[in-house]
Amino acid sequence: MTPATAHAIVSRQQSAPPAAAPALIDAGQDFEIRALNAPLGAEVLGLDLSRPLSDSDFARIHRAHLDYHVVVFRDQQISPSQQIDFSRRIGPLQIHVLHQFQLRGHPEVLVVSNVVENGKPIGLGDAGHFWHSDLSYKEKPSLGSLLHARELPAEGGDTLFANMHLAWDTLPAELQRAVDGLYAEHTYLARYAELQQRSPWRPNLRPEQIAQVQPVLQPVVRTHPETGRKALFVSEHFTTRIAGLPEDESRGLLDRLFAHSVRPEHVYRHQWQSHDLVFWDNRSLLHLAAGCPGHLRRVMYRTTIEGDVPR
C-alpha cells in the first residue's frame, strides 16, 4: 500500500459519520396478570406503579381491563400524585361535585372515608351505599375509577362488582326486546335526601353544585366503545325513570332490571388487602360498598376518568 493510499483510507475513516446509537430496549417490568375465580376481575402481581410504566406494560394493563373489567393491583405503595399520574395516562380526570371531600392539594382525588376528625368527616363515608356506575348522571359518565386503599378496617369494607355484560347476555329475550333502544333518566339527586337522613356525610348542595348535576338521559343498554359488547346501564342509585313510558310501567321495568343485574352469579366481592389499587370499568359494571363497623377507620383515595357519551 502506498503512503497516498493509506492516507486516503485514514481520511475516509475520520470523516465517516458516527455509528447510530443502539435502539433503546423497552424491558418493562416482570409481572403477572391472574384471572380471579369470579364472573369478572383479575389481579396484577409484581407490578410497581411508583416506577415509570413502559408502553408495552401499559398495553397489557389496558387489555386486561377490557377483558376482566376489574383489575386489582396488589401492594401499591404510591403517593396521591403517582395515582393521579397513572390515572391521567388512561384519560382526562373528572372532579367530583362534593368538593368538600377533595384531598387537600389534589382536587383530582376524592377521599372516601368514614373517619370524623374535630367533629367533621374527612371524606365521603357513605359512598357506594346503593348499586351504581360512577357519574352515570353526567353527559360523559366515567370510563373507570381507581380506588387506593390507604387505611383498612380489621373487618368489613368489601366492595361488590356486578358484570353488566353478563346481565345483558342473560336477560330474557322478551325483556331484551322491551328495553333495547330505550333511554332512562339519571340524576345525582335521586336518593340524595335519603342518604342525608341516613348519615352525616352528605352536605347540603349549593346552587352551583346542583347546576353541575342536572338530570341526563342515557341508553338503557349501552355499547362498550372499545369492545362493542352490550351492557345494561341502569342502577338503583341514579336511574329514576325510563323516558316515554307511564310511571308504573317504567318502575316495573326498572325493578326487574335492577334485580336481574345484581344476581349472585354476576357478582365479584372484593376483599381489600393492604395497599390494593382497584381499577374498574364503569361502562361494564355496577358496584356497591358493603360497609364496615363505624368505629373502624377506613380511608380510600379515588380518582375518576372521564369516558364518552354512551351509545
Task: Give the span between the Cα atoms of 88 and 82, in whole angstroms.
Answer: 10
Largest Cα–Cα separation, the chain:
104
173: left (phi over 0), alpha (psi -120 to 50) or beta: alpha
Choose the catalytic residue: 60, 65, 69, 132: 132
- The grid cell for 301 is 383515595
Check if 295 is active-site. no
Q: And the C-alpha cell for 5?
A: 493510499
Rounded Cα distance, 278 and 178, in Å? 34
> Would residue 134 show up in a list of annotated catalytic residues for this protein?
yes
The distance from CA 170 to its chain's CA centroid, rounded to whole angstroms, is: 24
* Catalytic residue status for 150: no
* Strand locations in 152-263 (E): 159-163, 183-186, 216-219, 221-223, 230-232, 239-242
- Residues 272 and 159: beta-carbon distance below 8 Å: yes
Residue from 134, 266, 270, 283 carrying the catalytic annotation: 134
Q: From the candidates 65, 202, 287, 298, give the one annotated as an active-site residue.
A: 287
How many CB atoms sit inside 10 A of residue 100's CB?
16
Please identify which of the residues 69, 129, 270, 302 carries the catalytic annotation.
302
The answer to whether residue 158 is catalytic is no
Neighbouring residues of 216: CB distance < 8 A, sequence distance ≥ 6: 137, 138, 139, 185, 186, 187
DSSP strand pairing (70-73 vs 42-45): parallel
Cα gap 250→289, rounded to integer Å: 26
Active site residues: 132, 134, 287, 302
